[in-house]
Amino acid sequence: MTYFIQFNDLKLESINVHAYEEGSESSIKTMQLNDIHDSINLGSDIYVMLPSAALGYKKFENYHGLKKDVLRANIFSESEDQLISDISTLKFFYHPELNLASWIDSHLFNRISDQLNELDGEIYIFPEHFLLHDQANILYITHDSFICSFSNFTGFSGSHKFLSSYLEILQADNFDLQSFKILKEDDSITLKEFDQSGSQVTKFKALHLNFLETNRFKNSNYFKRSFSLKYLKFKFKISSLESWAISTSLLLLLVVPFLISSTINSSAKDYQGKTIQIFQQLNPNFNRLVNARAQIDDLTRDIPRQNSFSNQDLGMLQYLEQLNDSSVKKIKIDLQAGSIAISLEGLPTYKLELLQQLFQSEPLTFEVSGLVEKDKAMFGKLLVSYES
Contact 79, 158 (CB under 8 A): no
Please tell me the distance from the alpha carbon of residue 333 to that of residue 328, in angstroms, as a whole number: 14
Angle of CA points 206, 211, 212, to nearest 5°: 100
Q: Which residues, including other chains, have CB under 8 Å from residue 226's CB and lie 6 or more apart? A: 113, 117
Give the model's pLDDT for residue 14: 92
Query: What is the chain's mean pLDDT, rounded?
Result: 82
Can you give the C-alpha Rg of the chain in angstroms? Answer: 51
Rounded distance, CA 127 to CA 222, Å? 9
| pLDDT tier, 111 (very low <50, low <70, confident <90, very high otherwise) | very high
Q: What are the domain boundaries of the chain?
A: 2-234, 240-300, 311-386
Q: What DSSP assignment string belongs to 281-344?
A: HH-TT----S-HHHHHHHHHTTSPPPPPPPHHHHHGGGGGGGG--TTEEEEEEETTTTEEEEEE
Distance (Å, whole) CA 231 – CA 17: 21
pLDDT of residue 147: 95
Mean pLDDT of 254-280: 79
Range from 50-64, 66-80, 355-369 carrying the lowest mean pLDDT: 355-369
Q: Which of 125-129, 163-167, 225-229, 274-278 has the lowest mean pLDDT?
A: 225-229
pLDDT at 323: 63
Contacts of 7 (CB under 8 A, 6+ apart): 13, 14, 15, 16, 49, 50, 51
**What is the spatial distance between Cα 295 and Cα 286, in angstroms, rounded to a whole number?**
10
The per-residue pLDDT for 157 is 92
Q: What is the pLDDT of residue 154?
A: 93
Segment 193-214, tens digit of pLDDT: 787 777 889 998 899 989 988 8
Q: What is the pLDDT of residue 309?
A: 46
* 322 band by pLDDT with thresholds 50, 70 and 90: low
CATH architecture, domain 311-386: 2-Layer Sandwich (3.30)
Name which of 37-41, 192-196, 199-203, 277-281 the model is least confident about.
277-281
Give the model confidence (pLDDT) of 338-361 as tens digits: 788 888 888 888 888 877 777 777
